[in-house]
Amino acid sequence: MKHAKLMELFLYFTILVNSFLIYVSLTIIDFNKVIAAIMLILCLGVYYGAIYSLTSLNKLVKQEKKKEAEIKKIEERLRDQWNKVGERAC
């Protein structure tokens, strides 16, 4: 999950570009209506995909953080037990 922030920024950039393309396809009047409709559908699909990817990425990051916290707890517990064993040996 090293590149999670970079992926998140890329997805936000994708959403921004697609928002601009949706605006262009809806506002240009002399544009062919069929091409504008196809462009709009494609942009909305990419928009939905980017939002879905962002939510999935956030879920993965949260799961990774939970796993790291659990590992730290286990390491701390093992370290405490090891220290108790060392104290008993003395």
Tell me if 76 sits within 8 A of 55, measured CB to CB.
no
**What is the three-class DSSP state of 20?**
helix
Q: Which residue matches tokens 């517990």?
A: 77
Q: How does pLDDT run across 6-25, given as a tens digit for each residue?
A: 777 787 888 788 778 777 77
Q: How does pLDDT run across 41-66, given as a tens digit for each residue?
A: 887 788 778 788 888 888 888 898 99
Q: Which helix (H) or strand (E) holds 36?
A: helix 33-89
Which DSSP symbol is given to 11? H
Domain ranges of the chain: 4-89
Q: Please state the pTM of the whole predicted model.
A: 0.54
